[in-house]
Amino acid sequence: MSEVDQPVKSQLTLLREQSDVLEQSRKAWLDDSLVGSPLWKLNYAVSDIGYLLATLDEPEAIKQGKRWVKLQQKLSEGIAWLRTIDLLRDSLNESDLNKIASAVARLSSKPVSKCHKIMAKPEWVRIRRWWFGYLESLPPRDPAEVVTIAMTERAEHRFLKLRNRVLKHDNDKDWLKLEDATGELKAILSLHAASNRGYQVRVSLLSDIESHLRLWHQAHARQPLLKLLSETPEVDDRRRLADSIAEIRLQERLSAHRRKERVRKLLIKPSDE
């Protein structure tokens, strides 16, 4: 079997694979809930599930997608705080971490507690019940029969519209929308890529764009939280510590800028070839 003649996975198979990522990420976080990376991974597995559900283009799939979006909204601030705490842990010495511990706990307590509640067994059992109940009701389908030309064209149009908008205006809201549009188009083209070399190349490019956008999003989300921390008495009254937090904020701003520049190059490159 040639490289471009691999069997196409159905949406159901791909949804089950992403469901496994959800379970593994949840377990990893519960084993060490002071670290944010497992929930960050879980969040993007939810995004990938949403993109796949959109390719089914039916009322029940849309309903399930909205449920996952609501879950992401509930988790988002807690995940941002946990990833910011990861950054602080990697950037500061133990003495400085101890000095800001009370401020970090005070600011992050409510959103992180919300993550604990959702990931805890009673709530997760409820989530599993409606989600796996839906998967059990979903018959295997040939993606070629489900993914229509019109659906592909809509996703292409949305991606190109946002591509042009971010290249022209550099509005952060548009960058966030581009992240979703990239994932949506990648999911659609991936269902055809196994038998189409051209789609394989495009999926690879979209995956690269999406990876940089997700890292930009992380740096973007950390910056206001670091600003909140810098304004607390625990930091504001200590000049050297305040300078350290300011330096971390600056590095995150630079990181976000570099990610945007990388995405811009990837967005422009195809039209130059």
- Identify whether 1 is part of a domain: no
- Note the helical H segments in the chain: 11-31, 37-56, 59-91, 94-119, 121-137, 143-146, 149-169, 172-193, 197-230, 233-236, 239-272
pLDDT range class, residue 194, cuts 50, 70, 90: low
Q: Is residue 4 part of a domain?
A: no
- Rounded Cα distance, 250 and 128, in Å: 41
Give mean pLDDT, residues 196-211.
Answer: 91
**pTM (2 decimals)?**
0.91
Residue 119 pLDDT exceeds 90: yes
The CATH number linked to 57 is 1.40.20.10
Whether residue 205 contacts residue 251, with contact meaning beta carbons closer than 8 Å, is answered with: no
pLDDT of amino acid 237: 84
- Mean pLDDT, range 175-204, rounded to an integer: 90
Q: What is the pLDDT of residues 15-29, one digit of tens each?
A: 999 999 999 999 999
DSSP string for residues in 98-112: HHHHHHHHHHHHHHH
**How many Cα neighbours within 13 Å face the side chain of 250?**
6
Q: What is the largest CA-CA distance in the chain?
A: 67
Q: Is the dihedral of CA 115, 116, 118, 119 positive or negative?
A: positive
pLDDT reading at 260 higher than 90 = yes
Report yes or no on 178 lying in a domain. Answer: yes
Asked if the structure places residue 44 within a domain, the reply is yes
pLDDT at position 101: 96
Q: Which residue has the higher pLDDT, 251 or 195?
A: 251
Judge whether 3 lies within some domain.
no
Residue 171 carries which side chain, given as an amino acid letter?
Answer: N
pLDDT at 188 over 90: yes
pLDDT at 195 over 80: no
Q: Which domain holds residue 149?
A: 11-272
* Residue 2 is assigned to a structural domain of this protein: no
**22 lies in a domain?**
yes
Q: Burial of 35 by CB count in 10 Å (0-12 exposed, 13-18 middle, 19+ buried)? A: middle
Query: Which residue matches tokens 């581009």?
Result: 178
In a domain, 6, yes or no: no
Q: Are the C-beta atoms of 22 and 128 separated by less than 8 Å?
A: no
Q: Which pair of structure tokens corresponds to residue 82?
A: 């946990």
> How many distinct structural domains can be found in the chain?
1
CA 91, chain centre distance (Å)? 23
| Residue 4 binned pLDDT confidence (cut-offs 50, 70, 90) | very low
pLDDT computed for residue 65 by the predictor: 96
Has residue 272 got a pLDDT over 80? no
Q: Are 171 and 191 in contact (CB under 8 A)?
A: no
- Band of residue 6 on the pLDDT scale cut at 50, 70, 90: low
Indicate the residue type of 213.
L
Instruction: Name the least confident of 41-50, 62-71, 113-122, 232-241.
Output: 232-241
- Determine the Cα–Cα distance for residues 29 and 123; give it in Å rounded to an integer: 15
